[in-house]
Amino acid sequence: MIKIEHIGIAVKDLSAANEIYTKLMGYEQYKTEEVKSEGVTTSFFKCGESKIELLEGTTEESAITKFVEKRGEGIHHIAFAVDDIHSEMKRLEKEGFRVLNKEPKRGADNKWVVFLHPKSANGVLVELCQDVEASVIQ
């Protein structure tokens, strides 16, 4: 793991959350992006080497919509940047972690992402992400 790439926060209303986080951080989000395949709209705030990702569910079936309904708003996942997502997936599977994706998928902010089941990581949903440009995956 290279660094904490971002912390994902599930919110009910992205524009209201953007206002709150703009006040909190002292500056605005640098991008807002819809990820249709995941049923979410996200916005990102830089914080040094890391980011805050706000996520609002856009469909009833979205994992974020379900999370907010069940548990309310709050921290949804922690994302670690990795150099080689395939070798990290293999390494973590060997260590007994449950990798939720067979193959990396395209996430927000130009990343390949995979998730680890929270039950295998002390209740925390873990995301691994790798920059698309830095990868050799086609």
Q: Which of residues 34-73 bind Zn ion (CB under 5 A)?
A: 53
What SS3 class is residue 132? coil
What angle (nearest 5°) sits at the alpha carbon of residue 99, between those of residues 11 and 69?
25
Burial class (CB in 10 A: 0-12, 13-18, 19+), 79: buried
Residue 53: CB minimum distance to Zn ion, A: 5
Residues contacting Zn ion: total by CB under 5 A = 4
- For 35-54, letters b (16+ CB in 10 Å) and e give beebbbbbbbbeeeebbbbb
Q: Does 79 contact Zn ion by CB under 5 A?
A: yes
Q: Does 85 contact Zn ion by CB under 5 A?
A: no
Residue 136: CB minimum distance to Zn ion, A: 22
**For residue 39, what are the CA distances in angstroms to 10, 57, 61, 63, 105?**
13, 6, 8, 8, 14
Residue 76: CB minimum distance to Zn ion, A: 8
> Which position's Cβ is nearest Zn ion?
8
Smaller CB distance to Zn ion: residue 63 or 94?
63
Smaller CB distance to Zn ion: residue 8 or 57?
8
Smaller CB distance to Zn ion: residue 8 or 39?
8
Interface with Zn ion by CB under 5 A: which residues? 8, 53, 79, 127
